[in-house]
């Protein structure tokens, strides 16, 4: 039974609710108030589910459009005799999407940089620690 059917049957409440997995939830033994509360909860849940499905569909289409655009840019670069590597990272309701697109060896390797994957780049900290250690060693060696 869809939420549309529930609205049409406003004068009498159903004896069961058809769930999305094909099973039925029996409402027998419940009073009218309990049935009404359960039917309303079910209808609200179906609306939430439809809303989430629509959001996911919009996110999926947006990701698809963005990646298609990057592919077109890479193809244009190839036609113009240029090299291109485009990294794409996006967080959405579907999770994290990462793509590396282009006509270079790096793009063919498919490995995203730490910054593209959201990882922390510790290079500056490591260089700073080595520099401080070198200065301290020089101070203690000369003294």
Tell me whether residue 21 is in a domain: yes
- Which structural domain range is residue 37 located in? 3-112
**What is this structure's pTM?**
0.55
**Overall domain count for the chain:** 1
Tell me whether residue 9 is in a domain: yes
Tell me whether residue 17 is in a domain: yes
Tell me whether residue 85 is in a domain: yes
pLDDT digits (tens, 9 = 90+) for 60-98: 999 999 999 999 999 999 999 999 989 888 888 888 888
Tell me whether residue 133 is in a domain: no
Tell me whether residue 138 is in a domain: no
Tell me whether residue 124 is in a domain: no
pLDDT digits (tens, 9 = 90+) for 97-141: 888 888 888 888 877 766 555 666 677 888 888 988 888 888 888
Spell out the long-range contacts of 101-107 with Cβ–Cβ below 8 A and sequence spacing 24 or more: 101/67, 101/70, 101/71, 101/74, 102/74, 102/77, 103/74, 103/77, 103/78, 107/74
């Amino acid at each position: 039974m869809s939420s549309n059917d529930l609205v049409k049957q406003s004068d009498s409440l159903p004896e069961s609710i058809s769930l999305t997995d094909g099973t039925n939830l029996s409402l027998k033994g419940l009073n009218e108030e309990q049935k009404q509360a359960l039917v309303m909860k079910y209808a609200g849940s179906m609306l939430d589910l439809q809303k989430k499905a629509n959001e996911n569909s919009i996110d999926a289409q947006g990701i698809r459009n963005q990646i298609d655009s990057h592919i077109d840019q890479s193809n244009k670069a190839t036609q113009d005799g240029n090299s291109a590597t485009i990294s794409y990272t996006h967080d959405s309701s579907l999770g994290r999407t990462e793509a590396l697109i282009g006509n270079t060896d790096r793009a063919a390797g498919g490995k995203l940089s730490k910054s593209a994957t959201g990882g922390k780049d510790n290079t500056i900290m490591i260089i700073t620690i080595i520099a401080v250690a070198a200065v301290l060693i020089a101070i203690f060696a000369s003294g």
